[in-house]
Structure 1
């Protein structure tokens, strides 16, 4: 039988809706039974866990299979469905960003407890920062950690495809948040969020922005709403107070770059003369996405051209190439 503490943890995580801890504890129980020689029971438990995870995953595609009304059939054209599997520990982030994301997760996992005391969990988030610094990936992380699907709404496409109908389509998205709990990512948010005082914006965009402000203000669903922008300085000031948290994603520090390179290049043969600290120093100013692409390129060279190890010269070559556009 499972240890008393594991049973307590299992019940506690189920009650709190912490799926990650629930599955982890269940797997610990299965592993303990296997160590005791109860292989049949251990295999049965593992199959039950896998089946439960699959069932949970299938629930997230209900929006595609069970439209509640005819209007919601249009959601397939408005939302891009993603099933992320990246975890918070898989990302290299600044301590402040990591702490902010962890706080969102902690509150979401205690959402029932907070609501029982008349409080609301953080759920309306604004991500800002230069491209390639983890905004979109962090939305993936929140969805994955909470066991929720991720829906991406590209606002520039919404306006260009549905000129004259944008407000009705946006309202449809917010209506869906009540019916389908998920993470909703409004990517390239500056395409509608530009200040209403700007004289360059077309009337349609201003109307969509006003509608967004109204919808996010009155939203009381359990879905998470994330707006991501590379240009926070252009956003209308009225937007900022509508969000529970504004999380700024900075460029990686030298230490961040070093950590990411070490993670990316694990398992590959490195030249004995390679100094990753020097590479990290030279790569300052590049984004996380740039560093990832550099690591991918040197790994491909190693495999395609049969090189014996990843060299300092090769890494510096790719770092310089990435820096040229900047």
Structure 2
């Protein structure tokens, strides 16, 4: 029968309108029931899923939550500067400290009530600088904000943006900010220090300084409805003038033992983890990022499945975490 984690996963996927995940979890429940000797229930559940799938093929698609804004693909030069997606990620999918969760909830509240704020002469928070070590949730935050608000996520391709020709990068930046003004979405500048490096540094050259000045000017003048996010692993490299242009700076850190346990339990929720001593494996996860912990869980889960079992052993998970630490220290 379904365990508590599977029931929660079913409800979450239903609330998110993620039918594919809902069906997959239901089939996993059926498989688990069959192995436990509940063959009749397993058969009935599989048949029910097949019937619902068949009906859904001829039915209109129903979406829950915010409806994504329809958007044509950028053309011409802009097509080489932006990639677009419609994430289904939600803030509830993330393992966050309470203060960081509260700040993201506040951003979402202000965005949802932006018209009311503007009626009283205030602007919602929409320019965010995300700082912290790799793998701690900065990119996922961009996806979660887009998913919560039903907005497209535009990822700026810095390799197409930054060129060696004088003036060309600034011209491409103008194209991006024109898009920010005309097409509402979440615009994500990853590895932001490539653009926002401190002026006057040892490796500073005139063109990079001009690019940064242009970016500061565009960012300050931007009064669109879009969210603009910059993310960096190297906050110390950023020019101090950037911080004044952003509405908020969100700091991401390596997970605490409690958050590490939350990440592992979430990633392994569809498998049997009763044999795992979570306090012990949380110590094994110390010093690893959210992404590294998730990869270790995925490795341990795959080993369990390939061994024809749904039970993840604590020793297997600990070994996967140690492997990630060895890779991390290389």
Q: C-alpha deviations, 1:152-178, integer Å up to 9, x for none? A: 013244114876411000001101111
Change (3 A) 1:247 1:53: closer
**Contact 2:81–2:158, Cα closer than 8 Å, also in 1:** no
244, 257, 260: which one aligns with 1:254: 257
209, 213, 230: which one aligns with 1:210: 213
Q: C-alpha deviations, 1:204-246, integer Å up to 9, x for none? A: 2221111000000011111000000000011000000100000
Change (3 A) 1:122 1:49: farther
Which residue does 2:303 correspond to in 1? 301
Which residue does 1:283 correspond to in 2? 285
Which residue does 1:231 correspond to in 2? 234
103, 113, 129: which one aligns with 2:116: 113
Runs ≥4 residues deviating over 2 A: 51-54, 59-64, 154-157, 160-164, 201-204, 269-272, 305-309
Partners of 1:121 and 1:316 in 2: how far apart?
Answer: 44
Unmatched tracts of structure 1, length 5 or more: 1-20, 24-42, 65-71
Residue 199 of structure 1: CA displacement?
A: 2.6
**Contact 1:123–1:244, Cα closer than 8 Å, also in 2:** yes
The count of aligned residue pairs is 274
1:50 aligns with 2:52: no
Partners of 1:310 and 1:253 in 2: how far apart?
Answer: 22
Partners of 2:63 and 2:254 in 1: how far apart?
Answer: 40
1:267 aligns with 2:270: yes
Aligned CA RMSD, in angstroms, stands at 2.4
**Higher mean displacement: 261-270 or 307-316:** 307-316
**Contact 1:143–1:183, Cα closer than 8 Å, also in 2:** yes
**Contact 2:80–2:157, Cα closer than 8 Å, also in 1:** no
Q: Give the structure-1-normalised TM-score.
A: 0.78
Aligned pairs for 1:1-326 within 5 A: 50=62, 56-57=67-68, 59-64=69-74, 73-160=76-163, 164-270=167-273, 272=275, 274-307=276-309, 309-324=311-326, 325-326=328-329
Which residue does 2:47 correspond to in 1? none
Q: Give the structure-2-normalised TM-score.
A: 0.77
Partners of 1:255 and 1:162 in 2: how far apart?
Answer: 49
Q: Give the match's secondary structure for 1:210.
A: helix
